[in-house]
Amino acid sequence: MATLDVAAGSPAALPCSVEPPDALRAWGWDAERAVEFEPLAEAGLWPARVAAQHRGLWLVVGARGEAFASPTGRLRHRADEGDLPSVGDWVGCVSSPHDGEARIDLVLARRSMFRRKAAGSRLAAQVVAANVDTIFVATSLNGDLNERRLERYVAMGRESGAEPVVLLTKADLADADARDSAVRLETELRVHVIALSSRTGEGLDSVSRWFAAGKTLALVGSSGVGKSTLLNRLAGQELMVTREIREDDGRGRHTTTHRELFLLASGALVLDTPGMREFGLWDAEDGVDDTFAEIVEIAVGCRFADCSHKFEPGCAVQAAAARGRLDQARLKAYRRLARELADQPKPATRREKDRQFGRAVRNASAERMARKRYPG
């Protein structure tokens, strides 16, 4: 369960009016949200924030406490891809007239949205965290450091609208070469890169400045890099179960199984996430360009506007790489990510395909109903 600093009680029993902003402020509610919600309150909805999701049920935090809720049929029907509630979302809820249970009727506009391509072969987006101010990308210095994977996370972090920060965990187990990589990564990625250790406390003071009251932070990264241990250290209590690292490869054992939003004593909100084995990009052209800014800047001098920076004559990027001005590994990674994005259908194309699929489903359903009513 998420930590609560609000009065006890079930949101399902609340009157159909907007709660005072003070009661939800601990969870990130502000005056702008209150103004946005006024017409919804008049329609009988009350605000809550999604703190966790468990197998089709969402744990929401309202003005008087927490309760499990499920989306209304109307929300499920009209929701586009990725529009169902995600942890961190602010939602408008109603109380069911039949059983008094909370129902999520709509998702408020997201100020930021950290996504990835859904795991597997399906072309769809998965929202990992919503309404986050800072994305902490955690990776371990003791063997897990993968610069190509970091580039993906940072690109999607930038695309989300949140500030990406790289945390290099388990610094107490790293050698000198691994530590030197922190300085280089900060220059290449142009984000804050902090080496830290939950065991010794190194670097924790440098991270604490992001943990301001009312700010929402998310911890993302691969399994076993120490996200839950770091969360426990910052919280000053064991919010997440952790297990010791394996002796054979120095990696942690994966323990987090679901996304959950925690309210810390400092007033900051931290969203912990399970480790992700796959992390595919999704609609991240701007994020990729920002992450590889040195390549984009040089590409302005290419002869062709649609240059792929591979074989075209007059390619300024290839010329810079040949002269040693560009890191070949970075250029190769940029090409790979650009190709991955180019292979995805554009958002408008996906929406049209979704509409066509929806029409086909509705038409098939209507035909079945017609055959039942008028057999033969």
Of the ranges 51-60, 64-73, 121-130, 199-208, which one carries the lowest mean pLDDT score? Answer: 121-130
Which residues are CB-contacts of 312 (< 8 A; sequence separation ≥ 6)?
302, 303, 304, 318
361 vs 130, more confident? 130
Residues in the chain: 376
- Residues in a beta bridge with 221: 138
Band (pLDDT 50/70/90 cuts) for residue 224 is confident
Range(s) within the chain of domains with CATH label 3.40.50.300: 113-272
Residue 239 has pLDDT above 60, yes or no: yes
41 vs 64, more confident? 41
Band (pLDDT 50/70/90 cuts) for residue 16 is very low
pLDDT in tens, 105-160: 999 999 999 999 887 666 778 899 999 999 999 988 876 688 999 999 999 999 99
Would you identify the CATH topology of the domain 11-107? OB fold (Dihydrolipoamide Acetyltransferase, E2P) (2.40.50)
Check residue 123 and give its pLDDT.
75
b/e map 199-234, b = 16+ CB within 10 Å: eeeebeeebeebbeeebbbbbbbbbbbbbbbbbbbb
- Average confidence score pLDDT of the chain: 81
Check residue 8 and give its pLDDT.
31
CATH number listed for the domain at residues 113-272: 3.40.50.300
Listed in order, strand segments (DSSP E) in 151-268 are 163-169, 192-195, 216-221, 260-263
Band (pLDDT 50/70/90 cuts) for residue 238 is confident
355 vs 77, more confident? 77
CA–CA separation, 25 and 128 (whole Å): 23
Would you identify the CATH topology of the domain 292-342? Ribonucleotide Reductase Protein R1; domain 1 (1.10.40)
Band (pLDDT 50/70/90 cuts) for residue 179 is confident
Residue 57 has pLDDT above 90, yes or no: no
CA angle 267, 83, 343 (to 5 degrees): 115
CA–CA separation, 100 and 124 (whole Å): 34
Check residue 51 and give its pLDDT.
95
Work out the percent of the chain whose per-residue pLDDT is above 90: 47
CA angle 53, 57, 61 (to 5 degrees): 65
Structure tokens at 14: 């609340």
**Residues 186-191: what's their mean pLDDT?**
93
Check residue 321 and give its pLDDT.
94
Range(s) within the chain of domains with CATH label 1.10.40.50: 292-342
Band (pLDDT 50/70/90 cuts) for residue 15 is very low
Range(s) within the chain of domains with CATH label 2.40.50.140: 11-107
pLDDT in tens, 280-333: 889 899 999 999 999 999 999 999 998 989 889 999 999 999 999 999 999 999
Check residue 101 and give its pLDDT.
86
Amino acid code (one letter) for 263: L
**Residues 219-233: what's their mean pLDDT?**
81
Contact 4, 263 (CB under 8 A): yes
Rg (CA), the chain: 23
352 vs 84, more confident? 84
**In terms of C-beta density within 10 A (0-12 exposed, 13-18 middle, 19 or more buried), how is residue 87 classed?**
buried
Amino acid code (one letter) for 301: G
Check residue 155 and give its pLDDT.
96
Beta strand pairing status for 65-71 and 57-62? antiparallel
Check residue 11 and give its pLDDT.
37
354 vs 228, more confident? 228
Residue ranges in 161-189 assigned as alpha helix (H): 176-189
- SS3 call for 154: helix
Residue 163 has pLDDT above 90, yes or no: yes
Which residues are CB-contacts of 122 (< 8 A; sequence separation ≥ 6)?
none
